[in-house]
């Protein structure tokens, strides 16, 4: 658990492989090929990026390490395999390609599971909440220390009245939020008609409103020069101290010792009951864990393995109450 009294000043990571990247592009612009090329270069050839493919358009790319997934259950299986230390020995990062098909896959799963035509038919915005829940696997990968990159289909839109052109992504808002909020760079890829070289830009404009540049990349950069451009941008951050450690996607320990938490919670509850403060302890249990049909509070024994965070929260609140009465 974080201790705000033991913080150290942040250092900027020079591990270029850890900066999450999103590449947008129209069909045929070379999103997958370019991402594979960029990420191999960032890893200095030591490891390969691992592509979770939701479409069958990668077989022509030499040497790509990719698995095609067809549904959410297959995706869950891949996620669980990536949590193995063995996976880290083989791969440098994870790429989801394309997000558009992942979005459709998630939408269909939620709609079918809830017996509706589309998730939007569910009342009170529940559809989006269920979609957000299914996308939590991305957080699980990040918490396991993986840098997760994404490829997205870009759609060209022209306003009939103003004739202004924009490039957009047609994704559920929860899906877009999940991938864009964690990205340091969101770029669009195009082809240089003169050299056939792929070009990237990360500068947000009226035409490209979804782009994002958190590090200061050049206005336009060749895919073959991406590593040099990123390295220069990172090293040019004013006032930064640097480290080669992965400070962006560190492994986050999400498991808790539920047995120990239950024992601690029961111990604190006993202290409060012995001091005549049982009603206040009961209120904490009811407000956080819930209550039974007869109005009695649900106890720590009702919690299951996936509710470790809840158990931790209740223990913190009970400890605060014990401390406020100076019972220890």
What is residue 300's predicted lDDT score, i.e. its pLDDT? 85
What is residue 2's predicted lDDT score, i.e. its pLDDT? 72
Instruction: Say if residue 237 is in the same domain as residue 136.
Output: yes
Number of domains composing the chain: 2
Q: What is the CATH number of the domain that holds 79?
A: 3.40.50
Taking 80 as the threshold, does the pLDDT of residue 328 lie above it? no
Average pLDDT rounded to a whole number, residues 296-321: 87
Instruction: Say if residue 226 is in the same domain as residue 277.
Output: no
Taking 80 as the threshold, does the pLDDT of residue 305 lie above it? no
- The top-scoring range by mean pLDDT among 30-39, 105-114, 245-254 is 30-39
Last residue of one domain, picked from the residues 212, 243, 274: 243
Q: Does 10 reside within a domain?
A: no
Q: Does 2 reside within a domain?
A: no
Instruction: Say if residue 178 is in the same domain as residue 313.
Output: no
User: Angle, to 10 degrees, between the axis of helix 278-288 and the axis of helix 308-324?
Assistant: 150
DSSP letter for 185, please: E
Instruction: Say if residue 71 is in the same domain as residue 203.
Output: yes
Instruction: Say if residue 38 is in the same domain as residue 165.
Output: yes
What is residue 254's predicted lDDT score, i.e. its pLDDT? 64
The fraction of the chain above a pLDDT of 90, given in percent, is 64
Q: Which of 124 and 315 is assigned the larger pLDDT? A: 315
Instruction: Say if residue 189 is in the same domain as residue 294.
Output: no
Host domain of residue 291: 258-324
**Chain centroid to CA 60: how far?**
29
What is residue 119's predicted lDDT score, i.e. its pLDDT? 85
Q: Are strands 242-243 and 12-13 parallel, antiparallel or unpaired?
A: parallel
Q: Dump pLDDT digits (tens) for 137-146.
A: 999 999 999 9
Q: Which of 52 and 7 is assigned the larger pLDDT? A: 52
What is residue 121's predicted lDDT score, i.e. its pLDDT? 78
Average pLDDT rounded to a whole number, residues 150-163: 92
Contact 102, 174 (CB under 8 A): no
- C-alpha separations of 265 from 256, 257, 277, 322 in Å: 14, 12, 14, 11
Instruction: Say if residue 237 is in the same domain as residue 305.
Output: no
Instruction: Say if residue 25 is in the same domain as residue 116.
Output: yes
Instruction: Say if residue 306 is in the same domain as residue 182.
Output: no
Tokens (6 digits) for 199: 């070009």
Q: Does 6 reside within a domain?
A: no
Q: Does 8 reside within a domain?
A: no
Q: Does 72 reside within a domain?
A: yes
Global pTM?
Answer: 0.84
Q: Does 4 reside within a domain?
A: no
Contact 126, 83 (CB under 8 A): no
Q: Does 110 reside within a domain?
A: yes
Instruction: Say if residue 305 is in the same domain as residue 163.
Output: no
What is residue 302's predicted lDDT score, i.e. its pLDDT? 86
What is residue 159's predicted lDDT score, i.e. its pLDDT? 87
Last residue of one domain, picked from the residues 243, 270, 287: 243
Instruction: Say if residue 143 is in the same domain as residue 275.
Output: no
Instruction: Say if residue 94 is in the same domain as residue 202.
Output: yes
Taking 70 as the threshold, does the pLDDT of residue 99 lie above it? yes
Q: Does 37 reside within a domain?
A: yes
* CA–CA gap between residue 70 and residue 49 (Å, rounded): 20
Grade residue 122 by pLDDT with cuts at 50, 70 and 90. Answer: confident
Last residue of one domain, picked from the residues 193, 216, 243: 243
Contact 218, 229 (CB under 8 A): yes
Q: Dump pLDDT digits (tens) for 219-276.
A: 999 999 999 999 999 999 999 999 998 888 887 766 678 888 889 999 999 999 999 9
Average pLDDT rounded to a whole number, residues 32-38: 95
């Amino acid at each position: 658990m974080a201790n705000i009294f033991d913080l150290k000043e942040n250092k900027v990571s020079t591990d270029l492989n850890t900066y999450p990247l999103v590449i947008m592009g129209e069909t045929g612009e070379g999103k997958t090929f370019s991402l594979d090329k960029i990420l191999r270069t960032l890893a200095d050839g030591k490891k390969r990026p691992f592509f979770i493919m939701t479409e069958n358009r990668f077989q022509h790319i030499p040497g790509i390490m990719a698995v095609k997934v067809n549904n959410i259950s297959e995706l869950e299986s891949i996620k669980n395999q990536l949590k193995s230390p063995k996976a880290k020995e083989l791969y440098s990062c994870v790429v989801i390609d394309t997000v558009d098909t992942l979005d459709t896959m998630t939408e269909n799963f939620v709609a079918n599971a809830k017996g509706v035509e589309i998730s939007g038919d569910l009342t009170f915005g529940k559809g989006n909440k269920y979609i957000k829940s299914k996308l939590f696997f991305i957080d699980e990968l990040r918490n396991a220390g993986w840098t997760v990159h994404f490829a997205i289909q870009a759609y060209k839109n022209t306003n009939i009245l103003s004739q202004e052109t924009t490039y957009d992504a047609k994704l559920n808002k929860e899906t877009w939020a999940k991938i864009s909020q964690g990205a340091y760079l969101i770029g669009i890829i195009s082809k240089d008609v003169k050299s056939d070289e792929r070009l990237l830009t990360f500068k947000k404009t009226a035409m490209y409103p979804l782009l994002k540049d958190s590090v200061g990349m050049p206005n336009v950069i060749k895919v073959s020069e991406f590593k040099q451009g990123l390295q220069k941008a990172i090293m040019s951050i004013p006032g930064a101290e640097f480290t080669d450690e992965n400070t962006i996607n560190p492994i986050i320990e999400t498991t808790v010792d539920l047995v120990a938490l239950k024992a601690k919670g029961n111990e604190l509850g006993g202290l409060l009951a012995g001091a005549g403060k049982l009603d206040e302890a009961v209120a904490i249990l009811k407000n956080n864990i819930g209550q039974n049909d007869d109005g009695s509070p649900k106890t720590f024994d009702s919690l299951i393995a996936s509710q470790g965070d809840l158990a931790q929260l209740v223990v913190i609140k009970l400890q605060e109450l014990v401390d406020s009465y100076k019972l220890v």
